[in-house]
Structure 1
Amino acid sequence: MGPVTTAVPPLLPVVEQTRIDRWRDALLASPRGSRLWRWLAPLLVTVVAAVLRLIDLGNPHQLVFDETYYVKDSWSQWVLGYPSTWPDGADASFVAGDTDVFTGIGSYVVHPPLGRILIGAGMALLGPDSATGWRISAAVFGTATVLLVYLLAHTLTRSIPFATVASGLIAIDGLGIVLSRISLLDIFLTFFVVLTFWFVALDHRRTADRLRAAIAALPGERHTWGPVLWNRPWLVAAGAAAGAATAVKWSGLYVLAAVGLYAVITDALARRRAGIDQWPMDAVRQGLASFVLLVPVAVVVYVASWSGWLFTTGGWMRGTPVAATGIWGWIPEPLRQLWAYHQEMYNFHVGLVTPHSYASPAWQWPLLIRPTSMYWHQDQTGVNGCALPTGCTEAISSIANPIIWWAGVAASLYLLVRFVVVRDGRFALVLTGLAATYVPWLLYPERTIFQFYTVAMLPFLVLALAFALRDVARGVKDASRASGQVLVLVFLGLCLVISAFWYPVWAGLPVPYEFWRLHNWLPTWI
């Protein structure tokens, strides 16, 4: 009697490949194919984003919404080194090409300078008399944000399809498109926020490997203390990026605090997993080092953004004496004036309760209740080139693709539950980004704030959505893997169709009035 063999069941269930799996493997399995798509996928997504943001960028040739402040302030700052006041009727003069009618008297602006510097650079490049020049920097940074989302997603998962889906969703989303086609500050803030989190993800990956290697090199089997890691260039880069975000809008401070807390907690958990006996106190030691690596460079970048104001004498409050008592006596007067200016800025922001028809408190944001109408104009047939028989309506609404937005909000809740269950650090990073860009706004329910501020949340919403879609594609409960993948493809196709339907209302294209009305799904969207 021959030997009896018994089949050993696999440790993991066998996953039957679907047609989509085989197609993916055919593209990515070979080293050559993998290298090709590693470059081609982000390139294609970025090109799509660029086309949607750059086409007919100069339309309308008017100062739209708060461009009346940011465009003129940016140009005077570029010319003078500080934003200047403008005479009455300056909007019409500026649009007509008379762009140097600023008074030279310092203007009281309530946001730091970096966003205005970047807008001014675009105007210097293409001309301040061109609406394309006003907006080119926003379009470039908005497009670059899509690429950063790809890089962040790929860093988290090492998956080209995952990164393509996440970045593709933000490439076609209306909130990102509109804020890239109008010269406001929020798209620059979003760029630096995503850049910060990408650097943090790179630091986490590099530091985890170095910590394991450093502990393995220590003598003995048990270790009371672990090494303090100072060589963390990506953490320094994250501090610089967070400083730049803060130099656009002060809400970047929340991002700096959030990534600092994330670094401390992840370092502590890494030391506990490595078997460090005194891991809580060891994490404090590393936390102090991380603070030194992260925060001072952020402060330097932030203060450097004020260099035009500091090294000229015409800016707001530059001629205001500030008492030099006590420790203030050791501080140069320009820095004392800068501190006094910041006190006024802070008082403005915390006391901003001016009524506005499009104001939307933060609790409304997940529901997409009150998107901001940036521009609305009507022409009769034959007027201003209108060729539509019922007249032309041009509108710019900073509303996200509703399907992407609502699905992203639901996916964020799903990701939170998944994180509680599986404690995946990648989920923690995405949730940290969402918390940093949303939760602080809940603390100011009376403030005049707007739905379009959520553009800084959008990258993390699409990352959460991509994680949820990945789980669906793997098959959930009784649904097969093939059914899940088909469902994901149908959903992505629906997102694409909705974006195509909404694009004219995001780009201010002339459409019939009835077509514009079809986009007002809720009464509050008008």
Structure 2
Amino acid sequence: MVRNWGVVAQRMVPPIQGGPLLGWVGPLLVAIFGGVLRFVRLGEPKAVVFDETFYIKDAYSLLTHGVERTMLGNADNPIADKRLITGNLDIFQQCAQPVDCASFVAHPPLGKWMIGLGELLFGMTPFGWRFTAALAGTLSILIMARVARRMTRSTLLGCLGGLLLALDGLHLVLSRTALLDIFLMFWVLAGFACLVADRDWARRRLIDRFGGAPIGELGPRLGLRPWRVAAGVCLGAACAVKWSGVFFLIAFAVMSVLWDMGARRALGLRQPYRGALSYDVPGGFAALAVAPAVTFMASWTGWFVTAGGWGRNWDQATSSGPLFFVIDSVRSWLNYQTQVLGYHSGLEDYHPYMSEPWQWPLLLRPVSFYYPSDLPPSACGAGECSQAVLGVGTPALWYGAAPALIAVITWYVATRDWRAGTTLLGFAAGWLPWFYYAIADNRTMYLFYMIPVVPFMVLAIVLVAGLILGKERASSGRRAAGAATVGAFALIVLINFGWLYPVLAAETITQAEWWARMLMRSWVTAAPK
């Protein structure tokens, strides 16, 4: 018999401050604020920005043919890009056979399908191909606020988390650009949020099934866990955007099992680890291994059901009956994935804005997404004008995250608090693997690879903010001082973001104003002419 069952239950699932209504209204308002920043002037610049030239064409090809096919033009041929903007969509090369049009692509299709949805709804225009990126960025702010609220049990801290994510410059730029990374971040954050919700759900289920009754050695079976299945689908979707989603999938699967063990131990079971291995791990395998695999494979449906995909070998696959079709199709698909792996391992081409992972947290080398050199003086009313999109995080936020992460490490070592450990795991899963590629493969990499990690940087700041604010029973003076400190930090981030905004969102300014916002010489490859 477990004594003081109510105390045990409250410790396992603490109440959240504020009612459910406020818990939704606050995060929604923060998300609307972030959405305004992302959707206003979304069609600017009216040009193909950085690697949009690849993904918007692949997305349109998926909509039209179900697979990526070769199109007229490339990064060195602006004529095709101009034709895209003017609406002339007759941009596929003429092919004798579908296989002649097959295009080798290095990333799975889901992110490009998501870009294609915007093109389907709003046309092959800058607004159209950036629409779903802005939508994913806005929704991620809402998810950030809700998951931070659940982890801290504070609506105020949850809204702080959403606000800080909304004010990150790198998040803003990628939310306004048709690249894949914002979708990777969205699905990783969504999967993480589902697992945090599953943690609460599983603990409530354990409490409800016992309620102080005699407990066996292993505890109960929890049955179907919908939040964990949803997490598996989301993390599978992350892998279906970019392969690097697998780092988070593995880390979070292990994390979920450890949470199950901890829940059964907190319940007072004699054999909590055996109970988790017997009852929770099999379902966890289905949710966090089978569901992601099915989701990943489903994203390739267009490749399997059409003849024009890279390495498809359609004629051979259809020559000997249904069973051979399946076997040969899978064999061809696996061979394609091997080629993709080899491509990523050997990607060593020089790029003027490439950087190393140890440089990323300090923002030493951001990426210039857009900088036209032919703006007339009339564009800004000065002798020299600039219009830029610089892929860089908000320095006040990123430099604040560094000591926050150190504080969270200290907190975790001292207390083993699950929130600190989870935040550190998410950060490590998205950052540390790149060190291997930098050292072993000398791979070409960019600062924006950090975007899936930004939510965990924000979480670190939110957790430290909670420590600074103190508990509700702390003295009013302590609470006031803590609120002033946290509020001052948020205000500094807001001011810093506002100062950088013109070079994040392609506003036309004088070149002197542009230079003033280049905080480090390393932010510029060469002085513009």
The TM-score normalised by the length of structure 1 is 0.87
Out of 455, 462, 471, the residue aligned to residue 459 of structure 1 is 455
Aligned to 1:127: 123
Say which SS state the counterpart of residue 62 (structure 1) adopts. coil
Secondary structure of the residue that 1:50 maps to in structure 2? helix
Question: In the superposition, relative to structure 1, how do residues 510 and 354 fare at CA in structure 2: closer, same or farther (>3 Å)?
Answer: same
Between the aligned partners of 2:408 and 2:274, the Cα distance in structure 1 is 30
**Equivalent in the alignment of 1:97:** 87
Mapping 1:221-370, distance limit 5 Å: 223-285=216-278, 286-319=280-313, 331-370=326-365
Kept after mapping to 2: 8 A contact 1:112/1:247: yes
Which letter does structure 1 place at the counterpart of 2:70? T
Counterpart code for 1:92: K
Instruction: Tell me if 1:392 matches 2:385.
Output: yes
1:207 to 202, 207, 217: 202
Q: 1:61 and 1:336 mapped to 2: Cα distance?
A: 42
Partner of 2:486: 488
Q: Which has the larger radius of gyration?
A: 1
Asked whether the 8 Å contact 2:141–2:162 carries over to 1, the reply is yes
Partner AA of 2:246 in structure 1? L
Aligned residue for 2:119, secondary structure, equals helix
Check if 1:157 corresponds to 2:157: no
Does residue 76 in structure 1 map to residue 83 in structure 2? no
Q: Are the equivalent residues in 1 in contact too, given 2:59–2:112 (CA < 8 A)?
A: yes
Letter in 1 for 2:296: Y
Q: How is 1:431-450 mapped onto 2 (pairs within 5 angstroms)?
A: 431-445=424-438, 446-450=442-446
SS at match of 2:223: coil
| Number of the residue aligned with 1:194 | 189
Letter in 2 for 1:49: G
- Aligned match of 2:41 in 39, 56, 60? 56
RMSD between superposed Cα atoms in Å = 2.4
Q: Is the 8 A contact 1:228 1:289 kept in 2?
A: no
Alpha-carbon distance between aligned partners in 1 of 2:272 and 2:29, rounded to the nearest angstrom: 45
What are the superposed Cα offsets for residues 63-122 of structure 1, whole Å, 9 maximum, x if unpaired? 111011111111111111011111244223223322231126111001000000010110
Specify the alignment match of 2:134 in structure 1. 139
Q: Return the alpha-carbon distance in structure 2 between the equivalents of residues 49 and 376 of structure 1.
A: 24
Distance in 1 between residues matched to 2:432 and 2:299, nearest whole Å: 27
Deviation (angstroms), 1:303:
0.6
Residues in 1 aligned to 2:335 and 2:212: alpha-carbon distance in whole angstroms:
52
CA contact (8 A) 1:203 1:232 kept: yes
Please report how far the alpha carbon of residue 218 of structure 1 lies from its aligned counterpart in structure 2 after TM superposition. Answer: 6.3
> Is 1:407 aligned to 2:409, yes or no?
no
- Secondary structure of residue in 1 paired with 2:509: coil
Question: Secondary structure, in 3 states, of the residue corresponding to 2:386?
Answer: strand
How far the C-alpha of 1:35 sits from its partner, in A, is 5.7
* SS of equivalent to 1:377: coil
Kept after mapping to 2: 8 A contact 1:379/1:391: no
The residue number in structure 1 matching 2:180 is 185
The CA distance in 2 between the partners of 1:216 and 1:43, in whole Å, is 35
- Matches of 1:438 and 1:47, distance apart in 2: 29
Q: Which moved more, 1:225-234 or 1:78-87?
A: 225-234
* Equivalent position of 2:369 in the other structure: 374
Q: Is the 8 A contact 1:419 1:428 kept in 2?
A: yes
Q: Identify the residue that residue 519 of structure 2 maps to in structure 1.
A: 521
Long gaps (5+) in structure 1: 1-27
Q: Which of 85, 104, 107 is equivalent to 1:108?
A: 104
Q: Which amino acid aligns with 2:336?
A: Y
Q: Which runs of 5+ in 2 are unaligned?
A: 1-15, 525-529
**Which piece of structure 1 moves more, 370-379 or 399-408?**
370-379
Counterpart check, 1:472 vs 2:468: yes
Paired with 1:38 and 1:215, the residues of 2 have a C-alpha distance of 29
Q: What amino acid is the match of 1:57?
A: L
The size of the alignment, in residue pairs, is 487
**1:503 counterpart = 2:501:** yes
Offset from partner CA, 1:29-61 (integer Å, 9 cap, x none) = 9x8xx5653333122211111111111111111
Distance in 2 between residues matched to 1:518 and 1:399, nearest whole Å: 15
How far, CA to CA, are the matches of 2:103 and 2:396 in structure 1?
A: 41
Q: CA separation in 2, counterparts of 1:161 and 1:218?
A: 37
Residue 511 of structure 1 aligns to a residue whose secondary structure is strand
Structure 1 pair 511–259 and aligned structure 2 pair: CA distance change class (3 A): same
1:212 offset after TM fit, Å? 3.6
Assess if the C-alpha contact under 8 Å between 1:141 and 1:188 holds in 2.
yes
One-letter identity of the residue aligned with 2:370: Y
Distance 1:149 1:87 in 2: 40
